[in-house]
Amino acid sequence: MPKIIDHDERRSHIVDVTWELITQGGIEAATMREIAAAAGFANGALKLYFPSKEDIIQATYERALGMMREYVELDELRGLTALRELCVSSMPIDEDRIAAGRVLLTFWQLSLTNPKLQDKYLEHIRSWRGLLHRYLAEGREDGDIVTETPDEQLVDEVVLINAGANVMSLVAGEFSTIALQRQHLESFFARLTRP
């Protein structure tokens, strides 16, 4: 009887392996050769599942996004409450999320020279910023958010603090602690509720 190969399972296994290589050894460790070896494939066989390294990196990045999406529980929420949940849950506030930041750092690096990965990232940023705008608008409608700071500036502030925290928790976590991240968000939310 021929062996049945589960294509999706193989792809998922390759992403697991790439995730491990990136979080353990960084971008330099995640070569096609290393990925194939760690996944137990002959070098050329990877191509059956992913046409190029770019595709593997993209799938690994999507795993990171998917992981973050699972942390964020937005159902039923709106306005300020939804905003708070979205902002807090997507910060690198535990070991797993800090590791996901490492995948993100690799993805940023590669997206700088790869238009396809860059498009993917801009698509994510557009939808994230859109969601932040929506919750801010709802929060103003509900009368919870009254700050005079324009929404576009608030959205960008959340994005910069989040990106900065992802980097700093990796490269200088002894200074930029999780406790400080929480304080930044608390101060931010307090400001939203004041004119």
- What are the residues binding a copy of itself (CB under 8 A)? 25-29, 102, 105-106, 108-113, 118, 121-122, 125-126, 129, 149, 152-153, 156-157, 159-165, 167-168, 170-172, 174-176, 180, 183-184, 187, 191
User: What's the closest the beta carbon of residue 165 comes to a copy of itself, in angstroms?
Assistant: 6
Q: Whose Cβ is closer to a copy of itself: residue 43's or residue 183's?
A: 183
User: What's the closest the beta carbon of residue 83 comes to a copy of itself, in angstroms?
Assistant: 18
Q: Whose Cβ is closer to a copy of itself: residue 8's or residue 148's?
A: 148
User: What's the closest the beta carbon of residue 18 comes to a copy of itself, in angstroms?
Assistant: 16
User: What's the closest the beta carbon of residue 59 comes to a copy of itself, in angstroms?
Assistant: 19
Q: Whose Cβ is closer to a copy of itself: residue 22's or residue 39's?
A: 22
User: What's the closest the beta carbon of residue 114 comes to a copy of itself, in angstroms?
Assistant: 9
DSSP secondary structure of the chain: -PPPP-HHHHHHHHHHHHHHHHHHH-GGG--HHHHHHHHT--GGGGGGT-SSHHHHHHHHHHHHHHHHHHH---TT--HHHHHHHHHHHTS--SHHHHHHHHHHHHHHHHHTT-HHHHHHHHHHHHHHHHHHHHHHHHHHHTTS---SS-HHHHHHHHHHHHHHHHHHHHHSTTTS-HHHHHHHHHHHHHHHT--
Count the residues in the chain.
195
